[in-house]
Amino acid sequence: MKRRDGYFGSFGGAYVPEGLKVALGEVEESFYKHIEDQDFLAELAYYQKQYIGRENPLYFAERLSKEIDGAKIYLKREDLNHTGAHKINNAIGQVLLAKRMNKRRIIAETGAGQHGVATATVCALFDIECTIYMGEIDTERQALNVFRMEMLGAKVVPVKGGTRTLKDAVDAALQDYICNASDTFYLLGSAVGPHPYPTMVREFQSIIGQEARRQILEAEGRLPDYLVACVGGGSNAIGLFHPFINDEKVKIIGVEPAGKGLETGEHAASISMGSIGVIHGFKCYTLQDKYGEPLPVHSIAAGLDYPGVGPEHSYYNEIGRGEYVSITDKEALKAFFQLSKTEGIIPALESAHAIAYAIKLAKELTKQEIIIVNLSGRGDKDVEQVKKLMG
Ligand SMILES: *Cc1c(COP(=O)(O)O)cnc(C)c1O
């Protein structure tokens, strides 16, 4: 794999304190070495198949397509992975790397708890000590996920400083990393953060697009017209998109959360509504105040609730390779029910954003056209929240 400096156009990079540069350099070194190493790739392939349950299907949503009466919609079934979403693809990749680097301890931060659970899961699997930082308010809001992580053997540290949410959890995790980098690996959950994380996470998630490409060629004998995926930090989307980047006829659409409406300010649409800035060690489109501090964000889907976006998406937006649109809470909720009723598949609220946009798009297209939607996760985790919203 060609080694790069971590920039996608002017986005990305590593805006970090001196104390982190050496540690990040070591991760970078190890990543580029192992991603070409046959033993490492064979071990990764083993766990993808035997533990995650890959490959998962590319499912033709025939009833949904019929009901819309437009383009054919295929769903990439990341919801069928062990632990119910795409996050485990990345967690497995990074834990295998941590093992090769002889790190005895893994740390991570989590907001809603989904990345914390994926991290605790792979640490249990490999018997590695695991500490998860989580804002104190989030530990209260997501008590069940805290319990899940503890069941898996992780230590969950409630962060009491600042706003007591994700941003403060990130700060606490970085502080820990600066102090303990010699024996600790920082397992980052999305295609964000300083180099080499956006590239590394994209590589571990690209299995999604690699499989989808093979599967659509087998099913239809040609490539799709559109790829659609929801964008929080951007890892499930870049995982689907990347293997198609050089296929210029395949249009790429990332769906951001418009929350209660772009005009209300209560959203997390970093590309649609943000400006260029530095957040958590990298340059991207971000929702920031006039001092460059991240703004509070909102989405019905906790996993999309992030005031920045991966640098590679920022770049594809800038050069026009990708189109970035948004879907409101309400539209996502409608798609959540529509997919459940037509296909018997309850999507994660995050994924429902991608479904909602694909439904709109399919209506405008002919029956010959093909859309692949990344169904990034299953909705079991959201059923209680949706019930409350409806009640
Ligand atoms: C975390 C999460 C997302 C958002 O993260 P990305 O890095 O943008 O993929 C999307 N869908 C599900 C199911 C998630 O758990």
Q: Give residue-wise pLDDT tens across range 316-371.
A: 999 999 999 999 999 999 999 999 999 999 999 999 999 999 999 999 999 999 99
Neighbouring-strand partners of residue 185? 106
- Reported as a pLDDT band with limits 50, 70 and 90, residue 280 is very high
226-230: strand order across its sheet: 58-60, 72-77, 370-375, 226-230, 251-259, 322-328
CB of 114 within 6 A of ligand 1: the answer is yes
Give the mean model confidence (pLDDT) for residues 247-255.
Answer: 98
Q: Please give the structure tokens belonging to residue 346.
A: 């309850």
Which ranges in the chain belong to alpha helices (H)? 18-34, 38-47, 62-68, 87-100, 114-126, 136-141, 143-151, 166-180, 197-205, 207-220, 235-241, 270-273, 311-319, 329-343, 349-363, 383-390
- Reported as a pLDDT band with limits 50, 70 and 90, residue 252 is very high
pLDDT of residue 335: 98
Catalytic residue status for 376 = yes
Q: Which amino acid is at 236?
A: N
Buried/exposed 123-145: b ≥16 CB within 10 Å, e otherwise = beeeebebbbbbbbbbbebbeeb
- Reported as a pLDDT band with limits 50, 70 and 90, residue 162 is confident
Tell how far the Cα of 293 is from the centroid of ligand 1, in angstroms.
23
Q: For the chain, give the mean pLDDT.
A: 96
pLDDT of residue 286: 97
Is the pLDDT score of 3 beyond 80?
Answer: no
Give the mean model confidence (pLDDT) for residues 97-119.
Answer: 96
Distance, in Å, from the CA atom of 27 to the CA atom of 21, rounded to the nearest integer, reads: 10
CB of 354 within 6 A of ligand 1: the answer is no
* Active-site pick, 270, 299, 314, 376: 376
* Active-site pick, 72, 76, 87, 381: 87
Cβ contact 81:52 at 8 Å: yes
CB of 128 within 6 A of ligand 1: the answer is no
Neighbouring-strand partners of residue 105? 129, 184
Atom 1 of ligand 1, residue of closest alpha carbon: 303
Tell how far the Cα of 238 is from the centroid of ligand 1, in angstroms.
11
Atom 2 of ligand 1, residue of closest alpha carbon: 303
Tell how far the Cα of 386 is from the centroid of ligand 1, in angstroms.
18
Task: Give the percent of the chain with pLDDT over 90.
Answer: 94
Give the mean model confidence (pLDDT) for residues 129-145.
Answer: 93
Could you give all domains of the chain from N- to C-terminal order, each with its CATH number? Answer: 16-48+87-197 (3.40.50.1100), 54-84+205-390 (3.40.50.1100)
pLDDT of residue 5: 83
Cβ contact 133:176 at 8 Å: yes
CA 50 from centroid of its chain's CA atoms: 22
Give the mean model confidence (pLDDT) for residues 74-80.
Answer: 99
Interval 182-238: pLDDT, tens: 999 999 999 999 999 999 999 999 999 999 999 999 999 999 999 999 999 999 999
CB of 326 within 6 A of ligand 1: the answer is no
Q: Does this model's pTM top 0.85?
A: yes
Catalytic residue status for 109 = yes
Q: Please give the structure tokens belonging to residue 264.
A: 């209300």
